[in-house]
A and B are shown apart, each in its own frame.
Chain A
Amino acid sequence: MKVVFPDHLLQHTGGEREVELLAVNFRELLLALDERWPGIEEVLAKCAVAIDGQIYQDAFLEPLHNDSEIFFMQRIEGG
C-alpha cells in the first residue's frame, strides 16, 4: 500500500515523502512506520489520516488492503 506524508512531516521521515508498506490494519501500519522511524508514531497520532479517500481524525483498527492509499494530513477542526 502507498503511504504519503505531507511536507511538514518530512523532517520525521528523513525527507521521504512516500513509502510502500504492508499492514492489515492502521494500527499495524503505525507500528511498522515507528519501527522504520522511531518516534514517528507519536507525531502521527496527532494527525488525521485519509484512507482510500475517507478522512479519519482518529483512525485505529481500520482495515487496510494491499492497494490502499494512505495520506497523513493536518487535523481539521471547525467553527
Chain B
Amino acid sequence: MSEAIDYKVIGTRPIRPDGVDKVTGRAQFGADLNLPNMLYGRVLRSPHAHARLTRVDVSKALEMEGVYAAISRADFPENPSDLGKNIMARDKVLYHGHAVAAVAAKSLICAEAALALIETSYEVLSPVLSLDEAMADDATLLDDECFTKNLPETPDKPSNIAAVMTLSRGDVEEGFEQADVIVEGDYNIPMAHQGYIEPHACIANINESGQGSVWTCTQGHFEFRALTAKVLGMNVADLKFIASEIGGGFGGKTTIYLEPLAVLLSQQARRPVKMMMTREEVFRASGPAAGTHCKIKVGARNDGTITAAKAWLAYEAGAFAGAPMGPGAMAVFAPYDLENFHVEAFDVLVNKPKVAAYRAPGAPQSMHAMESALDELARKLDMDPLDLRMKNAASEGTQAPYGPKFPAIGLKECLEAAKVHPNYTSPVPEGAGRGVAVGFWFNVGMQSSAEVHINENGTVTIIEGNPDIGGSRASMCLMAAETLGVPYEQIRAVVGDTESTGFSNVTGGSRTTFATGMAVIQACEDIIGQCKSRAAATWGVDEDQVEWEDGQAIPSPGVNADVKPLTLADIAGNAAKTGGPLLGRASLNAQGAGASFSVNMTDLKVDRETGKVDVLSFTAIQDAGTAIHPAYVEGQMQGGAAQGLGWALNEEYIYDKDGVLENAGFLDYRIPVASDLPMIDTQIIEVPNPRHPYGVRGVGETPIVAPLAAAANAIRDATGVRINDLPLSPPNILAQLDNA
C-alpha cells in the first residue's frame, strides 16, 4: 500500500453532508431538543474541595411546588466504582463542584430554587492541591484505601500516588558518562480544559420499569450507555442512547457526568428530564487535562547523538486515579532512537476534578518537557534544532521506547519538509524568536460497526455508530464513494443510535476515520460481492466472471457475455427479483493504527513591557497517512495548533488556597480568539499506513502535542530566557524576564 495510488475521490474536498443543517441552525446539539412534559434537572455541588459529607437531605426540596424528583447518594447502588463516586459524592467530596444532589422541576428557575432547600453538612478537611503536597510522605490522603499500584511489592501504607510506571532500556548512567553535553530541566504545567464550546447536556426519558432513552452529546453513545448502566446497576438493553450532534469534545465527552442523574430523576418523576451544565459547571466539574511536573535529563555527544535520556513525570489525576501517565511516559521519547533511557511516571490524586482525556492525553505535557530540553541541547551543541532531531529520529525498524519496532512512519519526512519550508528558511522577523518541536501520537483502532444500504434508486445510506465531531460523515462518504465507484453526492452517512447499529467505541484517539472507515469500506466490499453475484445470476455466468469497476458490474475480460454493464442503480432497481434489498455490513476491532508524527514551528514576538506574546506565524507539518478529506485534515492540524498555543500561552486552572477554581468562565479562562492568531500554515505529509486499505493513520490527536514546546522554544529564542513553566502568560513572562 506504500506505492502512490490514484484515487478518484479520496483527497478531494467536497462539502460535508451535514453542512447545510449546521450553517442554518437546524442541526440538533445536546441542548437543542425539548420533549413534551419535560422537566429541568439541576445539580447541587460541593462548596468544599475536600470534606466528609456527613449529611444530605433532599426531602424539603421534594416538598417544593413544581419539584418532581430529588436524588442524592442514597438513590445509587452500593459499592460504587470511582466513576460512580465522581457522578455523585458518597462519603467524601473530593473537589469543589463535586455533585452531592440533584433535582428535577418544572422550570430551570424552580429547579435552581429547589437546590437551596437541600440540607447538607460537611466536616471540612484540608485540600491537597499540588503534586508536591500530594506526593509528600506525610500528605493528607484523599483515599485511605489507595495503595500505589505497579510497585514490585504491595506497599504497607496508603498514598495519594495511585500508580507508578517505569520504562527503561540500556544503562542511563553509563549513557550519561558517554555524553559530552548534558541538559536538565524541571517543567510545570497546570491543569487546562478542552474548552469545547457546547456544555454537556442530555435528556433522559425513562419509564416505570426502567426502560427508556437518553439523548446526549457524546463522543460515544455506546460507551455512555455502558457506563450509565454500570453506575446505576441497569441493563444496557433497557437503555437506548441517541447521540445528538456534538459541539466539540476533544476527549472531554468520552465519559459521563449528567446521564445517570437524568436517568434517575426521570425514573423518579416519570417524566422526561433535561439537564444542561452551565459553563461554570463545565470548568469545575467535568474532566480537564492533567496538570504535570516533569523533569528531564538528556545527554549527547558533540555530534548530536543522544547517549542517554531520563524522565520523571508526575500527573495530577484529580479526585480519582487515572491520569494519562502511561501514554505520557510512552510518548516522551517516542520520536527518538535511544539506546539508554529511563522513564518514571506517577498517577497522583489531588483535590481537583477527575481528569479526562484531552487530545493525545498525557503526551503534550511530557513532550513539552523533552522538546524544551532538546532545544537547550541544540543550543549547547550549537546545532540546528531540526538537525539534532533528525540525527536521532526514529524511522521504520527503530525500537520504540514502549517496546515494538516502528513500522513505516513519517517523522523523517516531516523533519525534511520543515527544513526546507519557507517559514524555516526565511529570516526570523526583527525582534521575534523561532521555535520548533516534534509531536507524536500512537493512534488507536478499536471496535466499529457500519452498515451500507443501497436504496432502490442506487443511492447509498451509510449507518455508523460514531458521532461526527469534525466532518467524519464526509470522510465516510468519500471512502464509500471510492470503494463502490459511485459519486460522493449519491451517498449519505447517518449516525445510528444504540438500537440501530452495532457497537462502536468512542469517536476519539484519532480512530474514527481509521477504524470506522475500515468498517465502511468492508461493508461496501460486502455490497460489491452481492452485486457481482446478482449480476452473475442475471447474466447466467459464474460469479468469478464478474468484475466491479467504476460503480458497475462488468463481465471479466475474455468472458463472452454479450451484456450491458449493470450499475448499482440497475442492480438496486431489480433487487426484488434477485434476492431482496442490498444491505452490506461490517463490524470489526481494528488493529494496526499507525503512529502519526508532526513538526511544528512558530515565530513569536514578546512585548518586554507587558509580557504579551504575539504569534507571527505558525506552521504545522504532520504525517496523516492518506488524507481522505484534506480540508478537514488541515482543520484538525489548525485547531490542534490553536489549542496547543492556548495551553502554551494563556490557559490554566487557577486555584485559591481552599481549592476553589478562580477562573471558571471563558472571560478568565481565556482560550485563543481570532485576533490572537495568524493564519496557520499546514503541510500534510502522506506516508500511507500499510494496515489501512486507503493508508489512513488518524490525525486529530497529534496536532496539539508540539505547539507547547514550539512556543516555549520560540520565547527562549526571542528573549534569551528559558521559561520552563507554562503558561507563558504575561505575568509569568514578566516575572521570568525580571529574574533573568
List chain A positions with a Cβ less than 8 A from chain B.
4, 6-8, 10-11, 15, 50-59, 62, 69, 71-74, 76-79
Contacts and interface: CB of A to CB of B under 8 A. Distances in A.
Contacts of A52: 404-405
Contacts of B510: 78
Contacts of B565: none
Contacts of B508: 77-79
Given A10-B152, A71-B403, A79 B165 contact: no
B507 to A, nearest CB: 10
8 contacts: A6-B403, A7-B166, A54-B407, A54-B691, A74-B327, A79-B194, A79-B249, A79-B250
Smallest CB-CB A-B distances: 9 pairs: A78-B509, A79-B251, A71-B403, A50-B404, A74-B326, A79-B357, A8-B150, A79-B359, A7-B166
B545 interface: no
B404 A69 contact: yes
A73 B150 CA distance: 13
Contacts of A78: 251, 357, 359-361, 441-444, 508-511, 701
A71 B404 contact: yes
Nearest to B701: A78
Given A57-B446, A58-B589, 6 more contacts: A4-B403, A55-B404, A73-B330, A78-B361, A78-B441, A79-B700
Contact of B444 (A57, A71, A73): A57
B445 interface: yes
Contacts of B359: 78-79
Chain B contact surface mostly:
loop
Given A73-B403, A74-B327, A78-B361, A8 B441 contact: no
Given A6-B167, A57-B589, A79 B404 contact: no
Tell me which of A50, A76, A77 has the highest count of chain B C-beta atoms within 10 A of its own C-beta. Answer: A76
Nearest to B408: A53
B165 A8 contact: yes
Contacts of A57: 444-446, 589, 591
A53 B446 contact: no
Contact of A55 (B361, B593, B700): B593
B165 A76 contact: no
A55 B592 contact: yes
A52 B167 CA distance: 19
Interface string B437-481: 000011111100000000000000000000000000000000000
Contacts of B326: 74, 76
B592 A54 contact: yes
B589 A77 contact: no
A76 B444 contact: yes
B95 interface: no
Contacts of A10: 152
B509 A53 contact: no
B591 A56 contact: yes
A73 B165 CA distance: 11
B360 A79 contact: yes
A62 to B, nearest CB: 8
B358 interface: yes
Nearest to B164: A8
Given A76-B509, A78-B251, A79-B251, A53 B360 contact: no
Nearest to B593: A55
Contacts of A77: 254, 327, 357, 361, 444, 508-509
A79 B444 contact: no
Nearest to A51: B404
A69 to B, nearest CB: 7
A57 B592 CA distance: 9
A11 B150 contact: yes
A59 B511 contact: no
B405 to A, nearest CB: 5
B424 interface: no
Interface string B549-564: 0000000000000000
A74 B444 contact: no
B165 A53 contact: no
Contacts of A6: 165, 167, 402-403
A74 B258 CA distance: 29
Interface string B389-411: 00000000000001111110000
B126 interface: no
Given A7-B165, A73-B402, A77-B508, A59 B360 contact: no
B130 interface: no
A79 B402 contact: no
A52 B166 CA distance: 22
Interface string B157-187: 0000000111110000000000000000000
